[in-house]
Amino acid sequence: MGAGGSRTPSRQPGPPRTYRQVVGDGGSRILEQVAAQRERLEARLALVGAVVAVASGKGGVGKSLFTANLAAGLAMRGAAVGVLDADLGGPSISHLLGAAPAPLELGDRGLEPATGAAGIRVVGVNLLQAGDERPVAWQGPTDSTAVWLRSLESTVLRELLTDTQWGRLDYLLVDTPPGAEHLPVLAQLLPGLRALLIVSIPGQLAQRTVARSILAAQELGLPLAGLVENMAGLDPDPAEDGPSMARRLGIPFLGQVPFDPRLARSAGTGRPYVLDHARTAAGRALMTLVERLQERVRGGPR
Partner 1 sequence: MKLLCSSCDTALQLEQAADAGDGTLVVTFGCPSCDQGIHLLTNPGETQLVRALGVRLGGRTTAPPPLQGTRAFLRHPRPELGMPATPGGTADREPAADPAPEPGAGPQSEELSWTPEARERLDRVPPFVRPLVQSMYEDYARERHLRVISPQVMDEARRSGRLEGHGEGEP
Nearest to 93 by CA among 113, 70, 114, 67: 67
Q: How far is the CB of 122 from partner 1 (least distance, A)?
A: 16
**Which residues are within 8 A (CB) of 270 and not within 5 positions of it... i.e. 6 or more apart?**
95, 96, 97, 98, 99, 116, 117
Element (H, E) at 27: none
| Residue 31 found at the interface with partner 1 (CB under 8 A) | yes
132 binds partner 1 (CB under 8 A): no
Residue 254 DSSP code: E
**From the list 4, 221, 236, 301, which residue makes contact with partner 1 (rule: CB under 8 A)?**
4
- Number of Cβ atoms within 10 Å of the Cβ of 270: 16
Q: For partner 1, which residue of 78, 119, 133, 143 counts as binding (CB under 8 A)? A: 143
Size of the site for partner 1 (CB under 8 A): 65
Please give the Cα distance from 216 to 269 (Å, whole number): 34
Q: Which of 219, 220, 222 is nearest to 198 (CA)?
A: 222
Q: Which of 108, 133, 261, 301 forms a contact with partner 1 (CB under 8 A)?
A: 108
Instruction: Give the contacts of 148 (CB within 8 A, at least 6 positions apart).
Output: 140
Contact stretch for partner 1 (CB under 8 A) within 57-65, 138-146, 220-228, 252-260: 138-146
- Part in contact with partner 1 (CB under 8 A); list of ranges 4-12, 213-221, 236-244, 278-286: 4-12
Contact letters for partner 1, residues 67-106 (x by CB under 8 A): ----------------------------------x-xx-x
Per CB under 8 A, which region of 50-58, 146-154, 190-198, 280-288 contacts partner 1? 146-154
State whether the Cα torsion 130-132-134-140 is positive or negative: positive
22 is a site residue for partner 1 (CB under 8 A): yes
- Distance in angstroms between the alpha carbons of the first and the last residue of the chain: 45
Phi-psi label, residue 287: left if phi above 0, alpha if psi -120 to 50, beta otherwise: alpha
Query: Taking CB under 8 A as the criterion, which residues in 225-244 touch partner 1?
Result: none
Residues 6+ apart with CB under 8 A from 186: 53, 55, 86, 174, 176, 193, 196, 222
Instruction: Verify binding: residue 182, partner 1, rule CB under 8 A.
Output: no
Region of 51-59, 68-76, 135-143, 287-295 interacting with partner 1 (CB under 8 A): 135-143
The total number of residues written for the chain in this structure: 302
Asked if 114 touches partner 1 (CB under 8 A), the answer is: no
What is the bridge-based pairing of β-strands 169-175 and 81-85?
parallel
| Shortest Å, Cβ 204 to partner 1 | 38
Query: Which residue of 76, 156, 215, 220 would you call a contact of partner 1, by CB under 8 A?
Result: 156
Member of 76, 136, 215, 264 binding partner 1 (CB under 8 A): 136
Residues whose CB is less than 8 angstroms from the CB of residue 60 and which lie 6 or more positions away in sequence, other chains included: 178, 201, 206
Q: Which of 49, 76, 128, 278 binds partner 1 (CB under 8 A)?
A: 128
Q: Does 46 bind partner 1 (CB under 8 A)?
A: no
Residues that bind partner 1 (CB under 8 A): 1-7, 9-12, 16-17, 19-20, 22-34, 36-37, 40, 101, 103-104, 106-111, 125, 128-131, 134, 136-141, 143-144, 147-149, 151-152, 155-156, 158-160, 163
